[in-house]
C-alpha cells in the first residue's frame, strides 16, 4: 500500500477543519448532540469537489425527507411501540428498495431518508414526546456538518472533478481504440485484446457515475454534461459494432483471406483510430469513399462470403461514424467548447438514458434490512434491553450502506471491524485524553493526530473503506457534549450494542440475501435474452435506441462481475454481444417483414417465433441445429424469389445466422437447394 500523497493530506486537513468548525458552531449553539455535526462532516467529505457538493445536496434532501417521515410516524404510533418499530422498519426497507433501483448517485437521497429515520426514530421509541425537538436538533446538526464541509471543500484548494473525469475518459477511449485496432488487424484475438474489450464494458459504470456529478463541479466542464453523455453512449455502441466486424473479419479470413483492397481499408482505419486526439476528422469522409468503392452486389446469386463482406462494410461505416463522433466529442470536451460538435452516427444527437432496474435484488435488499431490524428490535423489546435502539440503528445503517452489493456480508464484517477499531480509539479518548482537554483548542489538538490520519486514508481508494467508517463511527460514538460526562459502564454497553447489532446484521444478511457476483451476472444475461425473446415475439417493431441502450447497460454491469472468471467470463461476454447483434437484426427485420409477400411473411414469423422460444430458455446454452435449419430455410426462400429480395433483408438474416451460429459452415447454394426440397409440399 502506498503512502498518502500531498493531495491526500490536503483533503484530510480540509475535512478536519470542516468537522471542527461544525463541532464548534454546534457547541456554541447549545445543540444537545453536537457530535452529529462532526460525524456528518466526515460522511459528506469527498476528494472531488463535484462529488462532494452533489453528495451534500443529496444528504440534505434525504435528511429532510427522513425527518418528515419521523414526525409523521412517531406521534401517530406513540402508544404501540411494536407497531412503531414495524413502521420504521418498513420505511427503511422501502427506502432501500428505491435506492437499489436508482443506480445513480441520487440513490443517496433514499438511503439517507431511510437511515435518518433509524438514527432519529429508534432512540425515540421510549421517549416519543420529544420527537419535534429531537428532529429539529438532528436536522440542524446534520446541516451544520454538510454546510461547513461543503463550503471549505469548495473554496479552499478545490479539486475539480473535470480533470479526473477527462483522464478516465482518455483511458477508456484508449482501451476501446486498442480493442478496435486489434480487431481490424485481422489477427486472432489474444488475451490483451479481450482484456481491453472487458475494460470498455466494465468501466462504463464508473464513467457514468462520475458524469452525474459533473453539473455540481467547480471546473469549466460543469456545462459539458450533454457531450459527455453522448460520448459515453458512442463508446458503448462500439461494443456491438466492433464485435460484429470481428465476426465477419474472422469468417472472411477463414474463407480464403482478406483481399488486398479490403486490407488497405482496414489498415487506413486502424491508423486513423490509432492517431487518437490528433486524428483528422476529414479522414472519415475519405474512409467512407474507400468503403463504398468495395461495395459488392448482393442478390440471389451472391456467394455467402459476398454477403459477409457487405455486412462487414456496413459495420465499418458505422465504426467510422462512431470514431468520428468520439474524436470530435473528446476534442470538444478537452477544449471546453460550449457548442455541441457536429456528429455523424446515424442515431443522431439524442441521448437515451434507459437503465436496468433490478427489482429482484431491490426486494432482497429491502427484505434483508426489514428482517435484520425486526429480529434485533424483537430482542430489544422482549428483553427491555436499554441499548437496543443503538443496535437497531446500526443495523439499519449497515443495510443501507451496502444495499446495492451482491454479497454485502464481507463489507459488513469489514464495517464491524472498523467499528471495533473506532470504539477502541474512542475509549482512549474518552477516558485518557478528553478529561485533560479543558478547552476547545485542546480538543482540536487532541483530535488532530488521529482524524488527520483517518482523513488521509479516506482520500485513498485502497483504504477509503477503512478510514471512512472509523472516522464517522468514531465521531458519532464519542457522544461529545458541552461538558464531560463519560461513563465507563454506559460506554461498554453502547459499544457492545454496536458490535452485536452489526454482527447480527451480517449474519442475517448472509442467510437471506447474499449471492455471488457470478450468479447476478448470469441473471443479467438471462434478462437480456428474455428481452430478445420479447422483441422476436413482438409483431410490431420496438424502439431500437431503448433496446440497445438497455442491453448495453446490463452488459456494463455484467463485465466487472465476470472479470474474476477469465475464460468463462470472456465467453459469456462474447455470447452476450452476439445476442445483442441478433436482437438488433431482429428489430431491423421486423421493419422489413410487413412488405414481404404473405407466404414469406409467415415463414419469417415462424423463424422469429422459434428464435423467441430459444431465448426464453432458462439456460444460456447455444441454439440447436433445428433453429439453424429454420433460418437457412428462410434464407433459401428469400434467395429463390428475386422479386422480393432486398440487400437489407439478406444482411439481416445473415446477421441473425452469424450471431446464433458463429461456428456453423457458411450458407451455400447447395444449402438453398436442400432447404427448398424440404419445403416442397409444405402448405402455403
DSSP code per residue over 222-237: GG-HHHHHHHHHHHHH
User: How far apart, in whole angstroms, are the C-alpha atoms of residue 411 and residue 399?
Assistant: 11
pLDDT at 17: 94
pLDDT at 92: 93
Contacts with 195 (C-beta within 8 Å, 6 or more apart), sequence order: none
pLDDT at 349: 46
Q: What is the pLDDT of residues 546-589, one digit of tens each?
A: 788 888 888 878 877 776 554 455 677 778 888 888 888 898 88
pLDDT at 351: 55
Q: Is the pLDDT of residue 16 over 90?
A: yes
95 pLDDT band, cuts 50/70/90, is very high
Higher-confidence residue: 628 or 573?
628
Q: Which CATH code for domain 161-216+225-335?
A: 1.20.120
Question: To the nearest whole number, what is the mean pLDDT of the chain?
Answer: 84
pLDDT at 422: 92
pLDDT at 682: 46
456 pLDDT band, cuts 50/70/90, is very high
Q: What is the pLDDT of residues 408-419, one digit of tens each?
A: 899 899 989 999
The three-state secondary structure class of 613 is helix
Q: Is the pLDDT of residue 375 over 70?
A: yes
- Three-state SS string over 308-320 comes to HHHHHHHHHHHHH
8 Å CB contact between 144 and 22: yes
Contacts with 161 (C-beta within 8 Å, 6 or more apart), sequence order: 48, 49, 50, 51, 210, 213, 214, 217, 219, 221
pLDDT at 482: 61
Domain ranges of the chain: 6-159+355-512, 161-216+225-335, 518-679
User: What Rg value do the Cα atoms of the chain yield, rounded?
Assistant: 30
Question: What does residue 642 show for φ and ψ, rounded to 5 degrees?
Answer: -60, -20
Residue 371: count other Cβ atoms within 10 Å of its Cβ: 20
Higher-confidence residue: 625 or 667?
625
Contacts with 468 (C-beta within 8 Å, 6 or more apart), sequence order: 42, 43, 457, 458
End-to-end CA distance of the chain, in Å? 72
User: How far apart, in whole angstroms, are the C-alpha atoms of residue 212 and residue 159?
Assistant: 16
pLDDT at 483: 64
User: How far apart, in whole angstroms, are the C-alpha atoms of residue 195 and residue 202?
Assistant: 10
Q: Is the pLDDT of residue 684 over 50?
A: no
Q: At what angle are helices 225-254 and 204-212 packed, to 10 degrees?
A: 170
Contacts with 111 (C-beta within 8 Å, 6 or more apart), sequence order: 62, 95, 96, 99, 400, 401, 403
Q: Is the pLDDT of residue 452 over 90?
A: yes
Q: What is the pLDDT of residues 593-612, one digit of tens each?
A: 777 778 888 888 899 999 99
247 pLDDT band, cuts 50/70/90, is confident
pLDDT at 1: 60
Q: Is the pLDDT of residue 379 over 60?
A: yes
Q: What is the pLDDT of residues 196-234, one digit of tens each?
A: 777 888 788 788 888 888 878 777 777 778 888 888 888
Looking at residue 663, what DSSP letter applies?
Answer: T
Average pLDDT over residues 34-40: 89
CA angle 114, 118, 123 (to 5 degrees): 165
Environment class of 421 (CB within 10 Å of its CB; exposed 0-12, middle 13-18, buried 19+): middle
User: How far apart, in whole angstroms, are the C-alpha atoms of residue 649 and residue 294?
Assistant: 20
65 pLDDT band, cuts 50/70/90, is very high
User: How far apart, in whole angstroms, are the C-alpha atoms of residue 325 and residue 278?
Assistant: 14
Q: Is the pLDDT of residue 679 over 50?
A: no
Average pLDDT over residues 322-340: 82
Nearest to 277 by CA among 372, 202, 170, 205: 170
pLDDT at 566: 47
Question: What is the pTM assigned to this prediction?
Answer: 0.83
Average pLDDT over residues 155-178: 88
Higher-confidence residue: 188 or 62?
62
Nearest to 390 by CA among 80, 82, 119: 119
Lowest-pLDDT range, 142-151, 455-464, 547-556? Answer: 547-556
Average pLDDT over residues 605-623: 88
User: How far apart, in whole angstroms, are the C-alpha atoms of residue 342 and residue 322?
Assistant: 12
Amino acid at each position: 500500500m502506498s503512502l498518502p500523497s500531498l493531495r491526500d493530506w490536503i483533503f484530510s486537513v480540509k475535512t478536519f477543519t470542516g468537522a471542527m468548525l461544525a463541532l464548534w458552531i454546534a457547541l456554541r449553539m447549545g445543540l444537545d448532540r453536537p457530535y452529529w455535526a462532526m460525524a456528518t462532516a466526515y460522511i459528506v467529505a469527498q476528494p472531488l469537489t463535484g462529488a462532494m457538493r452533489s453528495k451534500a445536496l443529496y444528504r440534505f434532501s434525504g435528511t429532510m425527507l427522513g425527518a418528515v417521515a419521523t414526525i409523521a410516524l412517531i406521534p401517530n404510533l406513540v402508544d404501540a411501540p411494536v407497531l412503531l418499530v414495524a413502521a420504521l422498519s418498513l420505511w427503511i426497507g422501502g427506502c432501500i428498495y428505491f435506492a437499489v433501483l436508482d443506480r445513480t448517485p441520487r440513490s443517496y437521497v433514499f438511503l439517507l431518508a431511510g437511515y435518518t429515520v433509524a438514527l432519529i426514530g429508534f432512540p425515540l421509541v421510549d421517549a416519543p414526546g420529544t420527537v419535534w425537538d429531537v428532529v429539529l436538533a438532528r436536522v440542524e446538526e446534520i446541516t451544520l456538518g454538510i454546510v461547513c464541509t461543503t463550503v471549505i471543500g469548495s473554496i479552499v484548494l478545490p479539486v475539480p472533478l473535470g480533470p479526473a473525469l477527462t483522464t478516465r475518459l482518455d483511458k477508456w477511449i484508449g482501451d476501446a481504440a486498442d480493442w478496435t485496432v486489434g480487431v481490424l488487424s485481422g489477427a486472432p484475438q489474444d488475451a490483451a485484446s479481450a482484456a481491453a474489450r472487458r475494460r470498455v464494458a466494465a468501466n462504463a459504470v464508473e464513467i457514468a457515475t462520475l458524469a452525474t456529478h459533473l453539473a455540481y463541479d467547480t471546473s469549466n466542464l460543469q456545462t459539458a454534461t450533454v457531450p459527455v453523455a453522448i460520448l459515453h453512449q458512442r463508446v458503448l455502441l462500439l461494443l456491438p459494432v466492433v464485435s460484429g466486424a470481428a465476426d465477419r473479419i474472422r469468417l472472411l479470413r477463414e474463407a480464403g483471406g482478406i483481399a488486398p483492397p479490403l486490407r488497405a481499408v482496414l489498415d487506413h482505419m486502424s491508423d486513423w483510430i490509432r492517431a487518437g486526439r490528433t486524428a483528422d476528422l476529414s479522414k472519415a469522409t475519405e474512409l467512407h469513399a474507400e468503403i463504398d468503392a468495395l461495395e459488392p452486389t448482393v442478390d440471389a446469386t451472391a456467394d455467402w462470403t459476398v454477403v459477409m463482406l457487405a455486412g462487414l462494410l456496413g459495420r465499418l461505416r458505422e465504426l467510422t461514424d462512431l470514431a468520428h463522433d468520439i474524436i470530435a466529442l473528446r476534442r470538444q470536451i478537452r477544449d471546453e467548447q460550449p457548442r455541441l460538435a457536429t456528429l455523424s452516427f446515424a442515431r443522431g444527437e439524442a441521448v437515451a438514458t434507459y437503465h436496468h432496474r433490478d427489482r429482484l435484488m431491490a426486494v432482497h435488499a429491502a427484505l434483508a434490512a426489514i428482517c435484520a431490524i425486526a429480529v434485533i428490535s424483537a430482542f430489544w423489546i422482549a428483553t427491555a434491553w436499554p441499548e437496543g435502539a443503538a443496535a437497531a440503528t446500526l443495523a439499519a445503517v449497515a443495510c443501507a450502506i451496502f444495499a446495492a452489493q451482491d454479497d454485502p456480508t464481507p463489507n459488513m464484517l469489514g464495517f464491524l471491524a472498523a467499528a471495533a477499531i473506532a470504539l477502541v480509539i474512542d475509549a482512549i479518548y474518552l477516558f485518557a485524553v478528553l478529561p485533560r482537554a479543558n478547552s476547545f483548542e485542546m480538543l482540536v489538538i487532541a483530535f488532530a493526530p488521529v482524524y488527520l490520519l483517518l482523513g488521509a486514508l479516506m482520500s485513498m481508494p485502497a483504504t477509503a473503506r477503512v478510514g471512512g467508517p472509523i472516522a464517522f463511527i468514531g465521531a458519532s460514538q464519542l457522544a461529545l457534549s458541552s461538558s464531560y460526562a463519560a461513563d465507563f459502564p454506559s460506554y461498554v454497553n453502547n459499544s457492545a450494542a454496536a458490535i452485536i447489532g452489526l454482527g447480527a446484521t451480517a449474519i442475517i444478511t448472509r442467510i437471506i440475501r447474499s449471492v455471488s457476483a457470478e450468479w447476478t451476472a448470469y441473471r443479467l444475461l438471462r434478462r437480456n435474452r428474455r428481452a430478445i425473446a420479447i422483441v422476436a415475439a413482438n409483431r410490431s417493431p420496438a424502439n431500437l435506441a431503448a433496446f440497445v441502450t438497455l442491453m448495453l447497460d446490463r452488459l456494463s454491469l455484467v463485465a466487472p462481475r465476470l472479470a474474476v472468471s477469465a475464460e468463462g467470463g470472456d465467453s459469456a461476454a462474447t455470447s452476450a454481444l452476439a445476442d445483442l447483434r441478433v436482437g438488433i437484426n431482429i428489430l431491423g427485420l421486423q421493419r422489413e417483414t410487413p412488405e414481404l409477400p404473405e407466404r414469406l411473411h409467415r415463414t419469417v414469423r415462424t423463424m422469429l417465433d422459434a428464435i423467441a422460444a430459444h431465448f426464453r430458455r432458462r439456460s444460456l446454452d447455444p441454439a440447436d441445429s433445428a433453429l439453424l435449419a429454420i433460418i437457412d430455410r428462410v434464407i433459401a426462400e428469400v434467395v429463390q424469389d428475386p422479386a422480393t429480395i432486398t440487400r437489407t433483408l439478406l444482411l439481416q438474416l445473415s446477421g441473425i445466422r452469424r450471431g446464433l451460429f458463429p461456428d456453423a459452415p457458411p450458407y451455400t447454394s447447395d444449402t438453398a437447394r436442400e432447404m427448398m426440397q424440404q419445403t416442397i409440399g409444405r402448405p402455403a
